Structure 1
Amino acid sequence: MEIVRLVLLLLHLLGFAALFGGLVIQAREPVKRVNSLMRDGAGTAVVAGLLLVGVIEGQTDPDASWHWKVAVKLVVGLVILALVMMNMRKERISQALWATLLGLTVLNVAVAIFWHPVHGSY
């Protein structure tokens, strides 16, 4: 089961890398838009994250602080995914929406890195 956890963690990280890359590649472009990297990355990160939680819950007995971390990451991830999907077919998105997506993506990674539950394995 450990190999499954690691593969899901890799997919989760690659999803965020694709989302982040899809955003950063447009940093100097005057016209911003939601691209397929952002869509696929956000979807992969959310789905792999949910599966990862299921695997971890089956392996360990995390304390409540771990559940709060997962809840925060899930809410932020779903907001990102919703914003991406709502704007997928638009010709352009505002600079503010692009910056919001970038900020939320960085926030979700920061929560993953800096929020250390007492007894979690994530």
Structure 2
Amino acid sequence: PPGQILENTSPKSLDRWQKPGDKASFAKYTTLGGPSTTYFALSDAIYSDGSFIRLSNVSLAYDVYGKTLKSLGLKSAKFYLRAQNLFLITNYDGLDPLTPVFGAVPPYAVFIGGVQINF
């Protein structure tokens, strides 16, 4: 579970005591195993709303026609742009609702553009 040795610790654990009189959820911040991290990992505090909206794939293309192509000696031309993982809207506490807690990187944005020409 999150909050255990060598695993990601929830950002909630930053709500910790820092000076006498603080009202916080945790006594201290640690990535080591111990009662406080075990209690946290086994409680419902590690769960959060995982709902999200993601724009995963977008593809735009434009085909060029007309006299301009013929004057350049081309049969056809196409310009295209493709993108993946453009944005994510979520109230999830972690990096990404679909990314496992340990050992993975959230999906990153990818942009591809190109031209397709036929002579």
The normalised TM-score by structure 2 is: 0.29
Structure possessing the higher radius of gyration over alpha carbons: 2
Task: Determine which structure has the larger helix proportion and give its number.
Answer: 1
The normalised TM-score by structure 1 is: 0.28
